[in-house]
Structure 1
Amino acid sequence: MKNQINCVIIDDDQFAIDILRDHILEVPALSLYKSYTNPITALSELLETRNIDLLFLDINMPELSGLQVAESLKHKIKNIVFTTAHSKYAIKAFDVQARHYLLKPIDLNNFIEVVSSIIISSKTSKLTNIDDESYFIHTGERGKLTRVQKKEIVYIQAAINYVDLFLQNKRYTIYMTMKEMELVFESDPRYFRVHKSYIINRDFVDSITGNIIKLGDYQALMSSPYKNEFMKYLSERTLLSKRL
């Protein structure tokens, strides 16, 4: 089946994996790519793997917890669903941008309810993916689609129920939320969400003064906690003398 959602399961309990595998087989839109009982092995392989759409992740595992795995993969895998026997982990799950969590033992009806929202979300995006470097967007003119090169997007700014895409000499307004835009661009290392209202392209950054990022003729704001990943990126690329 074309356009299936590729799934991965990480759980140290093989019985739990078998239940999820059976549930995945019940949903034609889903395809099981691989399952792991060792979270360390899973993390090392998934960091080098592309096109994983959905991760079912146990939380309480030896050596490496599901929360730690999710923190490392949240910018690579768009949909993370925690599978846990403990509801107390739910809040922590959302701290690492997990879409949902399922309580064990996982009932098929609950499973279908959770994955259905993910399937619908993947089909209803108003950005139509062409390839890794461009998108078609609806810009408001009836019946018209405009192609935009990702590398030309300087930054994205929230505008109530819309977002503005700023290119060097153009601006497009589209009917999407910042959360949707963040999910679209999160797998591209050039883009960082630095504020509740701003996603920036690091390739256009000229300077940073306090919480203001200069992007050519534009500027964007940074604020916690959104700016943390970008500040980490900056610290890794800032030249400093190692002399005492």
Structure 2
Amino acid sequence: MIRCIAIDDQLSSLQGLEKYILDTPNMRLVNSYTDPVLALKELSRAEPVDLIFMDINMPQISGLELAHAIRGKSRKLIFTTSHKEYAFEAYEAEGDAYLPKPYSYAKFLVTITRLFGNDYEASENNLANSESFLVKNKEEDHRAIMVKYADIIAFESFHNYVKIHTDKKIIIAYLSLKDVREQLNISKQFIQLHRAYIISIPHIQHIEGQRITLTNQLSFNVGDIYINEFKEFYNERVIISSRKK
């Protein structure tokens, strides 16, 4: 887990950065500041973190001055600023990266991956290999809910969200099925046989022709583009008597 601090006197910029951090797996925002003087006071006696994001052009004390004072409190330091002329000074202040505003989420993610490399990838692998994961549930004011893979019946695409059907309730998360495939451990226990569903194999109740019914009575026909994968899946598991009729 990459533990982060964000410092920016512009509230809108800070909120955008906070969202990027919250939307990125294996990153956690420890604290954020719009007041660089308060940041200096608190961070000087706080435990070190993995990463500090810092604006450069701030009142009372600049990001460059603040960086010199608290550089030892972070493994990595990323300067964020709309003033490109500060690039050289940023590196002089031992900055590890420089994100000129406005920067996209893609640019943000590329920078994080470049700085943390194997550490970040290892964290992703830990998430994929775990038996459960946390997801924010829209139906519970976006509270983070712990979900066990064993409890999941299906992931269902639902407008801009994904419904996670479990044996206890339905969780609605701001995800796509692409996010599910890329970030979660669905390689063995789950299969996608329809563009709108990723299903748990142990929760298949019965198959009739090309129609699949799950233990919660969710039912669908295999999608045309998944026919070959379905046939392979079915033939590997169906038991047929060897006796002659």
TM-score, length of structure 2 as denominator length: 0.48
Structure number with larger C-alpha Rg: 2
